[in-house]
Chain A
Amino acid sequence: MAKKKERESSRRNFLKLGLGLGAASVAGVMSEKLMDAGEVPSNGSGEKVKVLTTNGKLIEIDAEQVGLAKKKDVYISREEARKGIPNRKFVMVIDLAKCKNARKCIEACQEGHQLPKEHEWMKVYLMQDSADAAPYWFPKPCFHCDNPLCASVCPVGATYKRSDGIVLVDTERCIGCKFCMTGCPYSARVFHWKDPEVKADPDSQYSPEMNIPPKEGTVGKCVFCPDKLRKGELPRCAEACPMGVIYFGDIIEDVVTNGTETVRFSDLMRERAGYRYLENLGTEPSVYYLPPVARLFPVERGYDGLESDIKERYNNEPFVISKENKP
Chain B
Amino acid sequence: MEIKWYIFLSIALFSIGVVGALTRRNSIIVFMCIELMLNSVNLLLVAFSKMHISTGGPAAFGAINAQIFVFFIMIVAAAEVSVGLAIIVMMYRNTKSIDINFLNRLKN
Is this pair of chains taken from one and the same complex?
no
Residues of A within 8 A of B (CB): none
